[in-house]
Amino acid sequence: MPVLSVLDLSPITAGANPSQALDNSLRLAQHTEALGYHRYWVAEHHNMPGIASAATAVVIGHIAGGTTKLRVGSGGIMLPNHSPLMVAEQFGTLAALYPNRIDLGLGRAPGTDGVTAHALRRTLHSDPNQFPQDVLELKGYLADAQENQKVLAIPGQGSHVPLYILGSSLFGAQLAAILGLPFAFASHFAPAAMMRAIALYREEFTPSEQLQQPYVMLGYNICAADTEAEAWRLRTSGLRALLNLRQGRPGPLPAPIENFEATLTATEQSILAQSDAAAAVGNFDQVRDQVAAFVAQTQVDELIITSQIFDHDARCHSYSIAYEACANIQMGSVA
């Protein structure tokens, strides 16, 4: 059985509100837990009209509180926006509430634009190049307390919440390898450097107390339905949302668009062609074959699946088809 997980952007659909989006996230978590998915991650984004998971630790508590065995975590916390101590306290608290179920995925991007980053931090003096040092500081707050340690994360100290390094470039791959941590690559929206990042991570991996062997997680888009035509119709919502984001016009997740191809410019077609490298669209057989080819190409240990689908019931059904379709694809063990 492959290791399959969920990446949820808590989409706010056109005409809906954050309350509905967060309720849908909980319902999807309960649905995917019943199917057998391993973990459920939510992502930190700010000033995004179509994403309800800005207060990521709060959303994780909401999801964990409504499930029983699913691992729940961040995909990810954007560490330059926060002090390592505060992150340690938040996730230490989550780990105290939901023992052995909390993951802490970390990224170095702001998860927003420059103006919003300033509103978040009140300063832009924080340096993304400090990310490795911030990760080590955070790791120290989650480890056992050292003699004469002056600052403790309470809750947090001694919780050993597992860390994961997220990235869409070679930087994250190299850092994850040096620190001996699992590496989650954002191939679902930035697949260009995926194969180079995987190779670098595996070549340079150094074992750690958390992880003895390299462990690769890849973001992957799946839009599955009973028919190929319906899957492609549902997929248009996520594609239009991606284009709106790339064009500086983020908004709620739109309803499916009829004759979508006819609405695209040549530039838009080029943008979308790049996203096909880490996506499966179609019926059961088509999704199974596309995922199998991706797994063979990457030798990935875990797929973390995202599905930007407007209708909640159709989204749940897509995850059901995806889980069954992937059931016989061989992948790695769980980290």
pLDDT, one tens digit per residue, over 127-174 is: 667 899 999 999 999 999 999 999 999 999 999 999 999 999 999 999
C-alpha distances in Å from residue 35, one per residue of 9, 70, 329: 20, 11, 16
Question: Which residue bears the tokens 């909980």?
Answer: 26
Q: What is the mean pLDDT of residues 324-328?
A: 90
Angle formed at CA 295 by CA 195 and CA 4, multiple of 5 degrees? 110
Domain residue extents for the chain? 4-325
Q: How many CB atoms lie within 10 A of CB 18?
A: 14
Q: Would the pTM of this model clear 0.85, i.e. be above it?
A: yes
CATH hierarchy code of domain 4-325: 3.20.20.30
Tokens of 164: 């994961």
Query: Which stretches within 108-193 are classed as H helix?
Result: 114-121, 131-142, 170-179
pLDDT digits (tens, 9 = 90+) for 162-218: 999 999 999 999 999 999 999 999 999 888 999 999 999 999 999 999 999 999 999
H/E element, 59? helix 56-65
Which candidate, 297, 284, 295, 296, places its Cα nearest to that of 323? Answer: 284
- DSSP result, 97-119: HSTT-EEEEEE-S-SS-HHHHHH
pLDDT digits (tens, 9 = 90+) for 22-75: 999 999 999 999 999 999 999 999 899 999 999 999 999 999 999 999 999 999
DSSP letter at 254?
P
The pLDDT, as a whole number, for residue 328 is 77
The neighbouring-strand residues paired with 13 are 253
Which candidate, 29, 1, 10, 102, places its Cα nearest to that of 331? Answer: 1
C-alpha distances in Å from residue 178, one per residue of 137, 163, 211: 15, 13, 12
Which candidate, 294, 325, 119, places its Cα nearest to that of 218? Answer: 294
Are 87 and 77 in contact by the 8 Å Cβ rule? The answer is yes
Distance CA(252)–CA(22), nearest Å, equals 14
**Of 62-71, 74-83, 273-282, 305-314, where does mean pLDDT reach its minimum?**
273-282
Residue 105, pLDDT > 70, answer: yes
